[in-house]
Structure 1
Amino acid sequence: MYEPNVVGDWREYDEHAGLRLRVHRLEPAEPPRGRDDAAEGLTYFRVRITVENRGETPCAVHLEDGQIDVRVGPDGESAFLDWRNSQFVEGFDVHPLRRVTAVLYAAAAEADLSQVDVQVQLRVDEEWAGRRMWTGGLGLPEGATGAAPTGAARDGGLAHQVSAFLRGQADEGAA
């Protein structure tokens, strides 16, 4: 069973040796060029997505709109994504031992921000990597930033709770 990562965890890609990704710094923030009128009455937040190359060769990384999905609240409703203020990675060559970071501004109802899910599908050297998900919330501490396997040493953490819920839903559907 696939378990989501906790915001702050690094996730290594098997299909791209040495490449790893992390969703981090989920925090309240106003966008640099002002609020979008479509976000009237919503609370803005910012999330950073970092790609690190620990491999031996450079790779071209694409992390653009449409490759990131943000869902909030217990029902997983879509957050408003402020594409105008966000900063993406468009075909950047990440050399060994270097990083590149995208900054995404989004907005949602304040009551839903205690549960935020971010799904990312990275494109590397014109090939799509598998989708990965991180879960967290505004006001919750980030997970460990080491490369420990997801769920290890955090059996009571948010990722474990989400995984247990999904397993329960799958068991109910199979019955």
Structure 2
Amino acid sequence: MCEPNVVGDWQEYEEHAGLRVRVHRLEQSEPPRGRDDAAEGLTYFSLRVTVENRGGRRFGIHLEDGQIDVRLGPDGESAFLDWRNSQFIEGYDVYPLRRATAVLFAAGPEAALGQIDVQIQLRVDEEWTARRLWVGGLGLQEAAASGAHPGTGCGVAHQVSTFLRDQAEEGTA
């Protein structure tokens, strides 16, 4: 894992031609089957992880319990993950030009939800991929976080976007 992605960015897997993944739709949201008692006093949010196959062959995908880690705030405290309400991708074949999406419900202290880190380790055809990291926060728009509207945000996603743009410029110089 060399550098983080901003929530909404696609990440390609070089070892699996045509396969890409992204974390997106990070938003405050109540779970469909009711709150878990362990999340009392915490604010719920949801996120989606989409795996897309733009290649020429099918891939067997696993994105289950333990392959997603969500951390909150500047200290990286673990979020409460509501496994009962979440929907995973368990042993699904993603054929060319198709997608599969997992929906995860989590909760944390409202003050820490401005900075959310999501780490994914996908299993493809029984092989583990390298871990990938996305950063974002509640209240940030994906377009603003990815740099489409410069100067609209001063949060961590904007800082990461600026850092990545500067790194790309240095690499081409």
TM-score (norm 1): 0.84
2:68 and 2:120 in contact (8 A); partners too = yes
Deviation, 1:141, is: 1.2
1:49 equivalent in alignment to 2:52: no
Aligned residue for 2:59?
59
Aligned residue for 2:141?
141
Identity %: 71
User: C-alpha separation between the residues in 1 aligned to 2:15 and 2:126?
Assistant: 13
User: C-alpha separation between the residues in 1 aligned to 2:35 and 2:106?
Assistant: 10
Higher RCO (CA 8 Å, separation ≥ 6 residues):
1
Aligned residue for 1:22?
22
TM-score (norm 2): 0.85
One-letter code of the match for 1:131?
R
Aligned residue for 1:13?
13
User: C-alpha separation between the residues in 1 aligned to 2:30 and 2:111?
Assistant: 17
User: C-alpha separation between the residues in 1 aligned to 2:118 and 2:111?
Assistant: 17
Aligned residue for 1:36?
36
User: C-alpha separation between the residues in 2 aligned to 1:159 and 1:11?
Assistant: 15
User: C-alpha separation between the residues in 2 aligned to 1:86 and 1:158?
Assistant: 30
For residues 110-158 of structure 1, the C-alpha deviation after alignment (integer angstroms, 9 at most, x for no partner) is 000000000000000000010000000000111489xxxx99x97x833
Matches within 5 A, 1:116-135: 116-135=116-135
Where 2:51 maps in the other structure, the secondary structure is strand
Aligned residue for 2:160?
159
Where 2:52 maps in the other structure, the secondary structure is strand
The total of aligned residue pairs comes to: 159
User: C-alpha separation between the residues in 2 aligned to 1:144 and 1:14?
Assistant: 27
Matches within 5 A, 1:48-87: 48-87=48-87
Q: Which structure 1 residue ranges, 5 or more long, are not aligned?
A: 164-175
Q: Which runs of 4+ in 1 moved over 2 A?
A: 160-163
User: C-alpha separation between the residues in 2 aligned to 1:81 and 1:10?
Assistant: 23
Deviation, 1:162, is: 7.2
User: C-alpha separation between the residues in 2 aligned to 1:135 and 1:106?
Assistant: 15
Q: Which structure 2 residue ranges, 5 or more long, are not aligned?
A: 165-173
Are residues 12 and 143 of structure 1, via their aligned partners in 2, closer, same or farther at CA, if it must alter by over 3 Å? farther
User: C-alpha separation between the residues in 1 aligned to 2:159 and 2:34?
Assistant: 33
Are residues 56 and 144 of structure 1, via their aligned partners in 2, closer, same or farther at CA, if it must alter by over 3 Å? farther
User: C-alpha separation between the residues in 2 aligned to 1:23 and 1:75?
Assistant: 21
